[in-house]
Structure 1
Amino acid sequence: MGVQQMLARLISQPSISSASPDWDHSNEAVIQTLAEWLEPMGFAVETLPVPGMPGKYNLVATLGQGPGGLVLSGHTDTVPFDESRWQSDPFTLTERDDRWYGLGTCDMKGFFALAIEAASAFLDTPLQQPLIILATADEESSMNGARALAEAGHPRGRYAVIGEPTGLKPVRMHKGIMMERLVFEGQSGHSSDPSLGRNALEGMHAAIGGLLELRDQWQAQYSNPNFRVQVPTMNLGCIHGGDNPNRICANCELHFDLRPLPGMDMDALRQSILDRVSPEAERRELGLRFEPLFDGVPPFETDADAELVRVCERLTGHSAEAVAFATEAPWLQKLGMETLVMGPGHIDQAHQPDEYLDLSQVKPAVDILSRLIQHFCVDSPAVDPKPPSP
C-alpha cells in the first residue's frame, strides 16, 4: 500500500479531539489501522488506553530491540471543522493543484503514512538500535495522550522526531502555553451605598493592574532572540462580571493566557500571580479562586549542539528554528530523549478549511526520514542497556 492509499484511509476515519463533547471522537479506528499495517511489517505493537479517557488510545510500535533507538512520533487526532467552508469532503483525500486535501493531511496523519513508507525499506536490514513509531491521542485538546506516556515512562528511546508541520525544517524550541482563570467573589448590594457590598469588579481592576506589572517584569527579565516575539506574552482574553449597573458586582471572572519562554517554570509563574493578586483580595475581603483552564504545555528547548539537531540540520540544510506553537515535545523530552520537531506541511495550512499537504513535500520527507533511520538505527552502534534518566 502506497503513501496516498494509506493517507486516504487515515483521513477517512474521524478522530477529532475537542473539549466539547459534541465534537469529541474516539481515535481507536486510526490506532487499529496503524496496528494493522505495522504488525505484518514485524513491529511489536502495543495499544495503550489513556487513563480516564474512554475511547482514547496511544500506540507504541517497535521494530528491533534494545534500549536506544529513534522515535518517530505523531498525534492521531484532528481539530473540529466547518464543512461549509471546505471545497471538498474533509474525510476524503482529494488531489488537486499538486496537493492532497483532507482533514489531517498535514496536521498530522500524513506523517504516519510517510514514516511507514520510510520504515518499509528497512524491514530486512539488521537494526543496531530500534525504530519506534509512536501515535498519541488528544494532542489538539488536552495533550493527555503524551502526558500519560510520560507518566508511565514509556517509550524508551534516545532520539525523538515529532512530525508536526514545519516545512521539513528542524525546530528545537517552542514557547509554552498556559490558560488561566482568576475569579473574585464579593457581595452584591445597592449601588447607592458602597458599604452594602464588596465589589468584585473593582478588585479585578486592581488585579489586572498587578498582572500587567508582572508582564512588564517578565518581559524585562526574559528574552530569547530565536523567537519572532522574543519575550514571554500575557493576553487578557475575556472578562465577565456583574449583572446590572446599579448593583454592586458580586462576581468577576478573568481568563488569560501566558506564553512562557524556555527556562521559565509554569508553577513558579502561577505562584507569582497568586502572590500578586492575593493581597488585593484580602484587603477588599473578596473570595479568590485561581486555577488553570487546562494543565498547560511547558516550554521546550533542545540544545543547539545536540546530536539530533546537528544531524537534522545536515540532512535538511536548514538551521534549527524556534516556533510559537506548542507540541508534545516536552513530554518526550521528559522521558530522557533528545527531541526535535520536524515534519512536512506548514503550520499555516493546519486548522484551516481545505487543509492540504503539498505533494512536493512527500518525497523529500520520506528521504529525510529514511536517512534518520539509517543514521540512528542502522549505523549507530548498540548502546548501554542502562535506560536514559528522565
Structure 2
Amino acid sequence: MPTAVPPLLTMMNELLSEISVSSTSSQWDTGNRQIIDKLASWLNTLGFRCEVIPLTKQPHKANLIATLGSGPGGLVLSGHTDTVPFNEERWDMNPLGLTEQDNKLFGLGATDMKGFFPIAIEAAKAFLDKPLKQPLMILATADEESSMDGARELAAQGAPKARFAVIGEPTDLKPIRMHKGIMMNAITVEGRAGHSSDPSLGNNAMEAMHLVMVDLLAFRAELQQRYNNPLFTVAVPTLNLGCIHGGDNPNRICGQCELHFDLRALPGMDNNDVIHQITQRITPLAKQLKVNISLRSLITPLTPFEQSADSVLVKAAEQLTGHSSESAAFATEAPFLQQLGMETIVMGPGSIDQAHQPNEYMALNQVQPAVDLLQRLIGQFCL
C-alpha cells in the first residue's frame, strides 16, 4: 500500500483539521480547496483519475470526481466537504481535529460528513488490484450546507455518470430512499407610514401581514389535508413561520413588514406549483388591503427526493444491512445525483442527531462496519 496515503483515522484527523465552512454569511464562509486537494492527492496515489472542478462563481471552492476503472455504469460514493459554522468556546475539545474519547470520534465534520471520505477510501483500497467491470467513483462536493451549488453545477454539467450512488450522510448505516424538499421564502408587505394617533394617515403593513400569516396557516392546513405519507415521521408537509421584522417605533404606523418562512414538501409535490398557489392567494389580499405584497425565494428550492422501493440499489442495501429502507427529515444532494440518472440512496455512518452542534462525533464502533458495508457494495456493483 502506498505510504503517501495515511491510515484511516490519520486521514480523518487531517480532514477535520482544515476549516471548510459554507454559510450564507460572508463572516463565516470559507473555501474547501484544501480538503479537495488533499483528497485528490490521496486518491491519485491509489490510482484514481482525479478531476478537480472549481465552482463557476466561487473558484476558491471545488468539486472532485475521482474514478477507478472505466465503463458505462458503476458506483458513486458521494459526500460533501463543507461544514456548518461553529462556536469553538462551546466545544469540550478542539473542533478542528480528531479527538478519540469514550469510543467516539469527536470533531467538526466527523459525522456530517468529512468522516465519510476516509471510510470510503479505506473501502476502495481492497479493490486497487482487482479488475473492475464497472468504475468506482468517489465524489466530493462543495457548499452542501448552504446553497448546494456544488451539486447543482454537477447536475448542470452532466457529471459524473454512473448507475448507482450512495451518499454517505449519517444514517446509522440504514438506507434512506426518500426525504422532503425545502424552500425558504420571504413575503414583504409595503404599507404607508404615518403618525399612530391617526390611523387614516397611513396603512399598517404589520396589520396586513397578520392577515397574510392567517392565510398562510390556512394554506398549510389545506396542504396537510391533501398530502400525507406515513413513511415519514412527520407525515405531512410542514410550513414554519420563522422570523418577522417590521416597523421602527411604537408611535409610528408600520410602513413595511417582512416575514420569512420555510416549507418542506413531500415526494410527489411540486415546489413550483406550491409557489404558484401562494402567489394566487396573496395577490387578492394585496388588492383588498390596498398594500403591495411581494414574494421572493431566499434560497434555490430543493425538490423532494424519492427512490423507488423496488430499485436494485435499495434492495441491495436492505439485504446487506438487514434494515428496511426509511425516510429522512433532513435534505441532501440526492435529487441532483438522481437527475444525473443514478439510482440513489442516502446511507452512512454516524447519527444525524450529532450533526450541527458542539461536540459532534461519530461512534467508533460504526467505522469498521461502514468500511465492510461499502466494500460489499463495491463488490456487488463494480466487480
- 2:295 aligned to which of 285, 290, 314: 290
Deviates most, 243-252 or 129-138: 243-252
Deviates most, 216-225 or 283-292: 283-292
Kindly provide the CA deviation profile for residues 50-73 of structure 1, in whole angstroms up to 9, marking residues without a partner as x. Answer: 111131100001111112110000
Cα distance in structure 1, aligned partners of 2:58 and 2:216: 35
The reply to whether residue 362 of structure 1 matches residue 362 of structure 2 is no
The reply to whether residue 7 of structure 1 matches residue 15 of structure 2 is no
Counterpart position of 1:279: 284
TM-score, normalised to structure 2, is 0.97
Counterpart position of 2:268: 263
Counterpart position of 1:385: none
Cα distance in structure 1, aligned partners of 2:18 and 2:179: 30
- 2:52 aligned to which of 30, 47, 51: 47
The reply to whether residue 246 of structure 1 matches residue 251 of structure 2 is yes
The Cα of 1:194 is off from its aligned counterpart by: 2.9
Deviates most, 13-22 or 55-64: 13-22
Kindly report the root-mean-square deviation, in angstroms, between the aligned alpha carbons of the 2 structures. Answer: 1.0
Counterpart position of 1:221: 226
Counterpart position of 1:193: 198
Cα distance in structure 1, aligned partners of 2:375 and 2:69: 16
The Cα of 1:349 is off from its aligned counterpart by: 0.8
- 1:81 aligned to which of 77, 81, 86: 86
- 2:132 aligned to which of 122, 127, 130: 127
- 1:161 aligned to which of 160, 166, 170: 166
Cα distance in structure 2, aligned partners of 1:160 and 1:376: 10
Counting aligned pairs with the same residue, the percent is 60
The Cα of 1:288 is off from its aligned counterpart by: 2.2
The reply to whether residue 58 of structure 1 matches residue 93 of structure 2 is no
The Cα of 1:283 is off from its aligned counterpart by: 2.2
The Cα of 1:79 is off from its aligned counterpart by: 1.1
The Cα of 1:197 is off from its aligned counterpart by: 1.9
The Cα of 1:243 is off from its aligned counterpart by: 2.0
Kindly provide the CA deviation profile for residues 234-255 of structure 1, in whole angstroms up to 9, marking residues without a partner as x. Answer: 1111111122333222101001
Cα distance in structure 1, aligned partners of 2:68 and 2:59: 28
The Cα of 1:265 is off from its aligned counterpart by: 0.8
- 1:311 aligned to which of 300, 313, 316: 316
Counterpart position of 2:3: none
Counterpart position of 2:382: 377
Cα distance in structure 2, aligned partners of 1:96 and 1:313: 31
Matched AA of 1:354: N
- 2:236 aligned to which of 231, 237, 248: 231
The Cα of 1:48 is off from its aligned counterpart by: 0.3
Cα distance in structure 2, aligned partners of 1:90 and 1:189: 51
Kindly provide the CA deviation profile for residues 144-189 of structure 1, in whole angstroms up to 9, marking residues without a partner as x. Answer: 1111111111111110000000000000011111111000101112
SS at match of 1:156: coil
The Cα of 1:139 is off from its aligned counterpart by: 0.6
Counterpart position of 2:332: 327
Cα distance in structure 1, aligned partners of 2:240 and 2:137: 38
The Cα of 1:12 is off from its aligned counterpart by: 1.0
The Cα of 1:220 is off from its aligned counterpart by: 0.2
Cα distance in structure 1, aligned partners of 2:97 and 2:249: 50
Counterpart position of 2:96: 91
The Cα of 1:192 is off from its aligned counterpart by: 3.5
Counterpart position of 1:352: 357
- 1:205 aligned to which of 196, 199, 210: 210
- The gaps in structure 2 that reach 5 residues or longer are 1-5
Matched AA of 2:186: R
Kindly provide the CA deviation profile for residues 186-230 of structure 1, in whole angstroms up to 9, marking residues without a partner as x. Answer: 111223333322221122111111111111110000000011110
Matched AA of 2:181: G
SS at match of 2:225: helix
Counterpart position of 1:388: none
The Cα of 1:31 is off from its aligned counterpart by: 0.2
Cα distance in structure 2, aligned partners of 1:340 and 1:255: 31
Alignment of 1:61-72 (within 5 A): 61-72=66-77
Cα distance in structure 2, aligned partners of 1:249 and 1:81: 36
SS at match of 1:109: coil
Cα distance in structure 2, aligned partners of 1:265 and 1:132: 31
Matched AA of 2:150: G
SS at match of 1:283: helix
The Cα of 1:372 is off from its aligned counterpart by: 0.4
Cα distance in structure 2, aligned partners of 1:123 and 1:54: 32
What count of residue pairs does the alignment treat as equivalent?
Answer: 378
Cα distance in structure 1, aligned partners of 2:84 and 2:199: 47
- 2:184 aligned to which of 158, 179, 182: 179
Cα distance in structure 1, aligned partners of 2:176 and 2:248: 47
SS at match of 1:151: helix
The reply to whether residue 145 of structure 1 matches residue 166 of structure 2 is no
**Deviant stretches of 4+, over 6 Å:** none
